[in-house]
A and B are shown apart, each in its own frame.
Chain A
Amino acid sequence: MDSTRREFIKQAGATALGATAIGTAGPELAFAAQKAAAKPKQAPTLIAVYLRGGADMLGIVVPYSDKDYPKVHPTLAMSESEVLHLDNNFGFNPNMKELHALYEKGMCVPIVCTGSPHPTRSHFDAQDFMERGAPGLRAVDNGWLNRYLYETKTSKDANLRAISLQSLLPRSLRGDYPVLAKPDQNAEQALEFYSQLYMPQMGAKPAGGSGASPPNLRGQQTKQAIKEFGARTIEQLRELDAILDQKTGSSGLRYPTSGFGRQLRDIAKVIKANRGLEVTALDIGGWDHHINEGPTNNGTLARMVGDVSASIGAFTDDLGPLMSSVLILVMTEFGRTVRENGNRGTDHGHGGFMLAIGGGLTGKKVYGKWEGLADDKLNEHRDLPVHTDFRVVFAEGSKARSASTASRRACSPNTRPIPRRWVTRRTRDAMRAHEALA
């Protein structure tokens, strides 16, 4: 461990996580075991799952024993006998059986009261800030996962190093590193037809490469970029489709038929094919429960969280020992108001939660500082506070992937001044323009 890394962890991690009131984790949080474990043959895979809309921690990681809990949730509260016991403070929502079983095995840890230091309650800002790993910094316009990929790229990167199985790339994967968004359309005919046009030129890079750029006469450089992206589309999709079309032995597995279940089933296929999948991200929408939140009795939240749990359960069964090199990070943009509103729902709040699921965790613990639901412990007397900056979890998560300091910093640019290479040319221009005016 070099000194820069120690310093980084100390700076970002120690205050936020070191002195937790319960489940003291130490700055290394949950992913330290990865180092000690034997080097896995499989490339490590990070799966970022985004619950869009602001998922309610109190309905998912339930503080059943808190004395204020039934008061603030007169209709939504769950009793100790209902929840799936985690520790003396918390239990999982009763529909999270699979995740509870993983918790018991030390393969699923919740991190409570985590979120953004930025106070915004706007979905748009909060999601943006989080996916760019840059709360309050609008000048950063690339995603944290893309920065990671870009910083650690090599000439030998696998075609499927980073993919998204939804048709529009989540913002966390947008940026200078080309990540495939799998089109929501049959592509076979198009790939066949256009490969003659896009593929023969592969390898014939323009003279000069990224160094001295040739004169951009008649948009040659734009054309070349389009050509390269087109060729990459064909290569990546062909490889991906070949894997997904295979009938693998996962027929006995019970993946839910939901979009999330299907996406995880496909990701498992790619991981099992061992094609160097390192990063993927996927979205689950619809967590903005202002009305009839329904955490129990098969209500809305109960059903949604049940689907997440069952899908991840099937996924871990499917992968078996390969889970040791997989990390799933489940996140949401913010938590919700501690008091339920007049419509049996909750409104936009502040502190939320994350789940880390995988084989390399130092687990069976609820992580994060917890001070209870008493009014004076709340953010602005209404929301859960943020005790753990989400960027600390991101950095810990990517630590499991790479020992490179640069890559970890890329995840959270504004824990320090932003080094210029983490921002795109456009951002740099904008920043320069602003500096010139100031």
Chain B
Amino acid sequence: MWIAYLLKRRIPILAVFGFVLGAYLLSSAAAQQGARKLEGAEASRHVLTRLAFGPRPREVVDVLRMGWRQWVEQQLHPEEIKDAATEKLIAEKCPTLSMSLSELQGLDKPGNQDRDERTRVKNELRDAVLLRAVHSERQFQEVIVDFWRNHFNVDVNKVPFLATNYEETVLRKHAFSKFEDLLLATAQHPAMLVYLDNYVSRGGGLNENYARELMELHTVGVDNGYVQEDVINLARVLTGWTCGWQDGRGNDREYKFFFNASVHDSDPAKVIALELDGTGSMADGEKAVRYLANHPNTARFICTKLCRYLVTDNPPPELIDGVSGIYEDSGGDLREVYRAIILSPHFMDPKYFRVKFRTPLEYTVSVLRTTAAQIESTDSVHRELKLMGEPIYEHVEPTGYSDLREAWLDPGVMVYRWNFAIQLVTDKMKGVKVGPEFAELVQKQKQGAQPKKVMEMFLPGVIDPTTEKLVASTTDIRAMVALALGSPGYQQQ
């Protein structure tokens, strides 16, 4: 049925009803095939570990009551979810987040005078990412923004004041838009222009860095349908895309993206199959960016990465085919693409339950959520993330952090997670405490029922007799929790 749908999809008249039909068929395909799917509490846990940073206490029950499909539908529209508490928290703790590009860049002083400001802005940005991941009700938004944060990686140490605005006005703003709008927003943001050097690229003095990554990492994928000449041509088309202080409204100077026609290379250029006669100046660049966004190789590349992120490290080809089809039919509408993946029979296939390995960020945030941790100061958490190799916004190379098991599962890495768990439960993590509701929840249980409750809270549905036996062998609640958090099952996503 799934395959049949894909074949039919190519017929234009069906394409009109693409999304509706697609969603319907995707969700019913498995039922028609008679394949088993995750249900009930398992399904709730699955969406809360894959589409959220792990469940908070009682959340599995909430989702179960609501039905996981409805929860997903809500999460796909983050703008409609109330999240006043998180917004208030961010406004208080991270005031620089809401600053304009000019205000932020205005903090950049010559020499070393800006050191303190630089540290403050950087710290508030990483805090915002962490605190939103832990507290936000819009969990899927946080999960998916983290995907784009790595896909369109910038290193805060290279663009200290610009990254904050990039997070707010590019990634968060466009994570549910069409891919081409997201892509164009990254292409025209000073953070990306500076990070990948396009701002200094000029006709006769080409810098290929951004053009290469735009194709290799952001759109069609490495060596996937383009050659070195395309890189050079794309770099030429994008000459003059730069940023700096410009005249704004009234007498104000404004720091922003602008097109510098005087350094633009306006010779005709061909990028893959797109021919540009060179008369379009800045519009040529926009055309090239939109062309790349809608290239079939891009559809496949983006969808493959998203399926890896949301379903399994090695997604089956028919899933990628199906989702790429939705991408193409919807013009790269990301919300539709996410929905297609989540409602596909593969997402709820028991085969993919807990097959992923939590990255350091996923592990850390999940621990803080499951223990309902109270975070007074985030420094110790950031320090742990750095030790584990995933400090927020500090990936130097444009590839971003990998989400795949093989990138993270090495001998040695477990030690950091074990130490993190031990520190947290023994109250040795400065500024971070397990929450009172968590302690209550466990302590309310009768003595003998505690191990069972701990297993239920931290390792729901996990079949792991070793851990279960060890948890049951102690009366120390902290030891029980530390065992659970450091167990193999808890590393699984």
Interface residue ranges, A against B (CB under 8 Å): 122, 124, 128, 138-139, 167-169, 174, 176, 178-187, 189-191, 193-194, 196-198, 200-201, 215-219, 221-227, 229-230, 232-233, 236-237, 424-426, 429-430, 433-434, 437-438
A218-B350, A221-B355 given; A180·B486 CB < 8 A: no
B246 in the interface, Cβ–Cβ < 8 Å? no
26 A-B residue pairs with CB within 8 Å: A138-B216, A167-B387, A174-B410, A178-B410, A179-B410, A184-B387, A187-B418, A189-B419, A190-B422, A194-B486, A197-B467, A197-B470, A197-B486, A216-B355, A218-B462, A218-B463, A222-B354, A223-B464, A224-B488, A229-B413, A230-B488, A233-B411, A233-B414, A237-B415, A430-B221, A430-B222
Are the C-beta atoms of B357 and A222 separated by less than 8 Å? Answer: yes
User: Which residues of chain A have C-beta atoms less than 8 A from B487's C-beta?
Assistant: 197
A122-B209, A437-B300 given; A226·B410 CB < 8 A: no
Q: Which residue of B lies closest to A216 (CB)?
A: B351
User: Which residues of chain A have C-beta atoms less than 8 A from B470's C-beta?
Assistant: 196-197
User: Which residues of chain A have C-beta atoms less than 8 A from B466's C-beta?
Assistant: 197, 200-201
Number of A-B contacts (CB under 8 A): 150
B491 in the interface, Cβ–Cβ < 8 Å? yes
B367 in the interface, Cβ–Cβ < 8 Å? no
Contact with A along B292-334 (1 / 0, CB 8 A): 0000010010001000000001100000000000000000000
B404 in the interface, Cβ–Cβ < 8 Å? yes
Q: How far is the CB of B213 from chain A (nearest CB, A)?
A: 10
Q: Which residue of B lies closest to A175 (CB)?
A: B406
- Scoring A167, A194, A434, A438 by chain B CB atoms within 10 A of each residue's CB, the highest score goes to A194
Are the C-beta atoms of A226 and B488 separated by less than 8 Å? Answer: yes
User: Which residues of chain A have C-beta atoms less than 8 A from B355's C-beta?
Assistant: 216, 219, 221-222
A215-B351, A218-B463 given; A226·B419 CB < 8 A: no
Are the C-beta atoms of B483 and A218 separated by less than 8 Å? Answer: no
Contact residue among A191, A201, A434 (Cβ-Cβ distance under 8 Å from B223): A434
B353 in the interface, Cβ–Cβ < 8 Å? yes
A184-B387, A194-B486, A217-B350 given; A169·B418 CB < 8 A: no
B203 in the interface, Cβ–Cβ < 8 Å? no
Contact with A along B218-251 (1 / 0, CB 8 A): 0001111100000000000000000000000000
Are the C-beta atoms of B351 and A217 separated by less than 8 Å? Answer: yes
Are the C-beta atoms of B422 and A437 separated by less than 8 Å? Answer: no
Are the C-beta atoms of A193 and B353 separated by less than 8 Å? Answer: no
Are the C-beta atoms of B412 and A225 separated by less than 8 Å? Answer: no
Q: How far is the CB of A188 from chain B (nearest CB, A)?
A: 10
Known: A229-B410, A233-B413, A430-B222. 8 other contacts (CB 8 A): A138-B223, A179-B410, A184-B387, A186-B419, A194-B486, A215-B351, A229-B409, A426-B404
A197-B487, A222-B405, A223-B492 given; A169·B353 CB < 8 A: no
User: Which residues of chain B have C-beta atoms less than 8 A from A218's C-beta?
Assistant: 350, 353-354, 461-463
Q: Which 10 A-B pairs have the closest CB atoms?
A: A219-B354, A190-B418, A226-B488, A181-B412, A183-B415, A180-B411, A219-B355, A233-B411, A232-B411, A187-B415
Q: Which residue of B lies closest to A196 (CB)?
A: B470
B126 in the interface, Cβ–Cβ < 8 Å? no
Are the C-beta atoms of A437 and B415 separated by less than 8 Å? Answer: no
Q: How far is the CB of A424 from chain B (nearest CB, A)?
A: 7
Contact with A along B452-493 (1 / 0, CB 8 A): 000000000111101100100000000100110011110110
Contact residue among A182, A197, A434 (Cβ-Cβ distance under 8 Å from B224): A434
A167-B387, A193-B482 given; A437·B412 CB < 8 A: no
Query: In the complex, A178 Cα to B413 Cα: how many Å?
Result: 11
Are the C-beta atoms of B353 and A225 separated by less than 8 Å? Answer: no
Contact residues of A: prevailing secondary structure: helix
User: Which residues of chain A have C-beta atoms less than 8 A from B223's C-beta?
Assistant: 138-139, 434
Are the C-beta atoms of B464 and A236 separated by less than 8 Å? Answer: no
Total count of chain B residues near the partner, CB < 8 A: 54
Are the C-beta atoms of B387 and A185 separated by less than 8 Å? Answer: yes
User: Which residues of chain A have C-beta atoms less than 8 A from B413's C-beta?
Assistant: 181, 183, 229, 233
Query: In the complex, A426 Cα to B351 Cα: how many Å?
Result: 19
Are the C-beta atoms of B489 and A223 separated by less than 8 Å? Answer: yes
Are the C-beta atoms of A185 and B492 separated by less than 8 Å? Answer: no
B71 in the interface, Cβ–Cβ < 8 Å? no
User: Which residues of chain A have C-beta atoms less than 8 A from B406's C-beta?
Assistant: 176, 424, 426
Q: Which residue of B lies closest to A122 (CB)?
A: B209
Of residues 429 through 471 on chain B, the ones whose CB sits less than 8 Å from some CB of chain A are: 461-464, 466-467, 470
User: Which residues of chain B have C-beta atoms less than 8 A from A183's C-beta?
Assistant: 387, 412-413, 415-416
Query: In the complex, A437 Cα to B223 Cα: how many Å?
Result: 11
Q: How far is the CB of A218 from chain B (nearest CB, A)?
A: 5
Query: In the complex, A122 Cα to B350 Cα: how many Å?
Result: 44
Of residues 391 through 435 on chain B, the ones whose CB sits less than 8 Å from some CB of chain A are: 396-398, 404-406, 409-416, 418-419, 422
Query: In the complex, A246 Cα to B479 Cα: how many Å?
Result: 31
Contact residue among A180, A221, A438 (Cβ-Cβ distance under 8 Å from B412): A180
Q: Which residue of B lies closest to A174 (CB)?
A: B410
B67 in the interface, Cβ–Cβ < 8 Å? no
Query: In the complex, A224 Cα to B104 Cα: how many Å?
Result: 48
B356 in the interface, Cβ–Cβ < 8 Å? yes
A201-B466, A434-B224 given; A230·B353 CB < 8 A: no
A178-B410, A180-B411, A223-B354 given; A193·B418 CB < 8 A: yes
Query: In the complex, A232 Cα to B85 Cα: how many Å?
Result: 43
Query: In the complex, A426 Cα to B357 Cα: how many Å?
Result: 15
Q: How far is the CB of A391 from chain B (nearest CB, A)?
A: 20
Q: How far is the CB of B137 from chain A (nearest CB, A)?
A: 27
Q: Which residue of A lies closest to B467 (CB)?
A: A197
Q: How far is the CB of A226 from chain B (nearest CB, A)?
A: 4
Q: Which residue of A lies closest to B489 (CB)?
A: A223
- Scoring A168, A219, A225, A233 by chain B CB atoms within 10 A of each residue's CB, the highest score goes to A219
Query: In the complex, A194 Cα to B464 Cα: how many Å?
Result: 15
Of residues 366 through 393 on chain B, the ones whose CB sits less than 8 Å from some CB of chain A are: 387, 389
